[in-house]
Amino acid sequence: MKIIEEPLAMLAEHGHVPIAYEVRSQFRADPADGGLGGIALVEEPVDPPYVKDYDRTSEEGPARWPARWLGRWDTSAWGLLAAYDGSRRVGGALLARSTPNVNMLEGRDDLLVLWDLRVHPDHRGAGVGRKLFEAAVDWGRRHGCVELKIETQNTNVPACRFYARQGCRLGAIISHAYEEFPDELQLIWRMPL
């Protein structure tokens, strides 16, 4: 397997890698002492399980969903990494930095956001995500970033566990962040580079 940097014009191809995952459990945020004693994330089963597919929330279809980001922001400082197994694209990571009007970047030029990480279902659990994450960290350092920021949801327990294994720390739990998914929690992970 190899990881290469590609031009952002390849975002449509990036979008062909499925991002869907099955939700079998989710994290619930339990505040202790009204929140003064901290907040514990407690994993609870979801019954029945369901498939969450962010690409399908767009009527444009999976390949056009990531490509539309090109017209929404100035992505000239962004990066696209792709994972290949031979000639087959099996994953990718979209990296955002130094972009006005992107709230996740907090107005900083030294912050890197792992905007979109996807691994083909046939290759999940085989180290593709880890290699993409390592390449993203290296890319951020080479571009002068000192911190990495990632957004997940409480319904993506495997992603949360993955980022924790990579050395990320949970920085924020935000309720009511998503109008279309009012019961989901937004989880913000951070890691110094």
99, part of any domain: yes
DSSP 17: S
Tell me the CB-side half-sphere exposure of residue 55, using CA atoms within 13 A.
20
Report how far residue 123's alpha carbon sits from residue 11's, in angstroms, rounded to the nearest whole number.
20
Quote the crossing angle between the two packed helices 128-142 and 157-165, to the nearest 10°: 60
Phi, psi dihedrals of residue 46, rounded to the nearest 5°: -110, 125
175, part of any domain: no
The mean pLDDT of 24-42, rounded to a whole number, is 93
Check residue 72 and give its pLDDT: 87
Tell me what the pLDDT averaged over the chain comes to: 93
Q: Are 26 and 128 in contact (CB under 8 A)?
A: no
Domain that residue 36 falls in: 2-146
Report how far residue 20's alpha carbon sits from residue 51's, in angstroms, rounded to the nearest whole number.
7
Q: Are 81 and 8 in contact (CB under 8 A)?
A: no
CA distances from 120 to 4, 62, 65, 104 (A): 16, 13, 16, 26
pLDDT by residue (tens digit) across 79-126? 999 999 999 999 999 999 999 999 999 999 999 999 999 999 999 999
3-state helix, strand, coil in the chain (%, to 5): 25, 40, 35
Check residue 54 and give its pLDDT: 79
137, part of any domain: yes
185, part of any domain: no
136, part of any domain: yes
> How many domains does one find in the chain?
1
